[in-house]
């Protein structure tokens, strides 16, 4: 068993983040995983990683034996170019993806908890994401404290509020 390490995402991770964005977009088992370039040809998807890192972008990368296996990150998007999980301009939207051959062993859980720890530390009031209603990842998000804010076109917009300090 190889040790898992979660570290901050840096500028050099742009290509890997784009790969993870592509696997997140094509999450459905049995559906063809498209090449990264064709996923990024859709501006509604590409805007989650374009020009990474912008100065308000924050992300984490999971490494196993020194090789990246998954990533999670947030980005603030403007009201005139909203993401699928847009709530408001002060709520960044989270993207998360784990390499197909590395799923189901806790990588996604580790990535999300580290990113949310960072969000809470940065005093972000809310974070959001968009997930299709039949994606098993919904359970991961509910466990992490996200709630369904709205549902349309087969996808939930989920929001997590920063927990009150004890």
Residues that bind ligand COA (CB under 6 A): 23-24, 27, 96-98, 103-109, 129, 131, 135-137, 139-140
Minimum CB distance to ligand COA smaller for 65 or for 164: 65
**Smallest separation (angstroms) from ligand COA to the CB of 123:** 24
Minimum CB distance to ligand COA smaller for 1 or for 166: 1
Q: Alpha-carbon distance 36 to 154, whole Å?
A: 24
Minimum CB distance to ligand COA smaller for 118 or for 135: 135
Residue of minimal Cβ distance to ligand COA: 108
**Smallest separation (angstroms) from ligand COA to the CB of 72:** 8
Minimum CB distance to ligand COA smaller for 55 or for 139: 139
Which letter, b or e, does each residue of 131-162 get, where b requires 16 or more Cβ atoms within 10 Å of its Cβ? Answer: beeebebbebbeebbbeeeeeeeebbbbbbeb
Rg of the chain taking only CA atoms, in angstroms: 15
Structure tokens at 151: 């549902």
**Smallest separation (angstroms) from ligand COA to the CB of 88:** 19
């Amino acid at each position: 068993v190889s040790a898992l390490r979660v570290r901050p995402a840096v500028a050099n991770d742009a290509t890997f983040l784009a790969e993870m964005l592509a696997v997140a977009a094509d999450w459905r088992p049995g559906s063809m995983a498209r090449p990264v370039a064709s996923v990024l040809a859709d501006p509604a998807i590409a805007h989650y990683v374009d020009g990474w890192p912008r100065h308000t972008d924050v992300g984490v990368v999971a490494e196993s034996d020194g090789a990246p296996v998954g990533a999670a990150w947030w980005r603030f998007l403007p009201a005139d170019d909203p993401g699928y999980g847009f709530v408001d301009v002060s709520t960044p939207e989270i993207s998360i993806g784990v390499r197909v051959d590395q799923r189901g062993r806790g990588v996604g859980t580790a990535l999300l908890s580290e990113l949310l720890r960072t969000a809470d530390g940065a005093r972000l009031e809310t974070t959001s994401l968009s997930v299709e209603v039949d994606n098993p990842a919904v359970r991961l998000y509910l466990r992490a404290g996200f709630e369904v804010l709205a549902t349309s076109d087969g996808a939930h917009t989920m929001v997590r509020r920063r927990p009150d300090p004890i």
